[in-house]
């Protein structure tokens, strides 16, 4: 069965991104994704773009945390408190590990990952603030916007912090 035939469940459209693209293809719009190859190419682009933007954001986040030891310490305290609270809720002990005990550290990381849930992430307010600030300072996908400085229709505009040669009508 082709991809486009599997997008429906009991006659109703699913709401994942693949199903949305299938729905666009079935609508017959120009530029739609009427065949499996076009659909595959678009989904692959989304996966690759998501991987690259996530890696870029995590790299900048790590750089920012390491550049600001007070921020890193506050993050460590929030994560330790979160780990202790979630372990208590789940009825498990937080394993101790020394700086040279790689196996114990790996076990603790695995347990910590198991304690993370979508709902519990909302408790990590400082982590959220740090990631959001990282994205503000170093956006993974820069947004270039043009704004006219005067009402003259032939005035060069500023694009973010760079001078552009674009002519943009004011208003």
How many Å from the N-terminal Cα to the C-terminal Cα in the chain? 52
What are the tens digits of pLDDT across the range 100-112?
889 989 999 999 9
- Residue 1 pLDDT exceeds 50: no
Question: Phi and psi of 105, rounded to 5°?
Answer: -65, -45
SS3 assignment, position 29: coil
pLDDT (0 to 100) of residue 27: 60
- Rounded CA-CA distance 29/141 in Å is 27
Contact between 28 and 34 under an 8 Å Cβ cutoff? The reply is yes
Contact between 13 and 19 under an 8 Å Cβ cutoff? The reply is yes
**Two structure tokens written together for 119:** 């709902």
Within 8 A by CB and 6+ apart from 153, the residues are: 167, 169, 170
What are the tens digits of pLDDT across the range 75-93?
999 999 999 999 999 999 9
pLDDT (0 to 100) of residue 14: 63
Question: Phi and psi of 15, rounded to 5°?
Answer: -115, 20
Higher-pLDDT residue of 89, 35: 89
Q: Is the pTM of this model over 0.75?
A: no
> CB burial class (10 A; 0-12, 13-18, 19+) of residue 156?
middle
The arithmetic mean of pLDDT across residues 119-142, rounded, is 91
Question: Phi and psi of 144, rounded to 5°?
Answer: -105, 120
- Residue 129 pLDDT exceeds 60: yes
Higher-pLDDT residue of 31, 136: 136
What are the tens digits of pLDDT across the range 36-86?
787 787 777 777 776 778 888 999 999 999 999 999 999 999 999 999 999
């Amino acid at each position: 069965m082709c991809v486009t035939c599997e997008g429906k469940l009991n006659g109703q459209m699913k709401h994942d991104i693949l199903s949305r693209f299938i729905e666009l293809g079935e609508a017959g719009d120009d530029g739609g994704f009427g065949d499996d190859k076009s659909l595959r190419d678009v989904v692959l682009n989304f996966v690759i773009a998501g991987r690259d933007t996530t890696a870029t954001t995590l790299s900048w986040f790590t750089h920012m945390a390491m550049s600001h030891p007070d921020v890193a310490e506050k993050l460590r305290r929030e994560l330790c408190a979160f780990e202790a609270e979630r372990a208590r809720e789940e009825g498990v002990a937080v394993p101790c590990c020394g700086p040279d005990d790689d196996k114990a550290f790996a076990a603790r990381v695995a347990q910590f990952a198991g304690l993370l849930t979508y709902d519990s992430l909302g408790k990590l307010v400082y982590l959220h603030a740090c990631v959001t600030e990282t994205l503000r300072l170093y956006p993974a996908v820069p947004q270039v916007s043009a704004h006219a400085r005067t009402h003259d229709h032939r005035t060069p505009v500023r694009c973010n912090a760079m001078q552009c040669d674009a002519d943009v009508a004011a208003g």
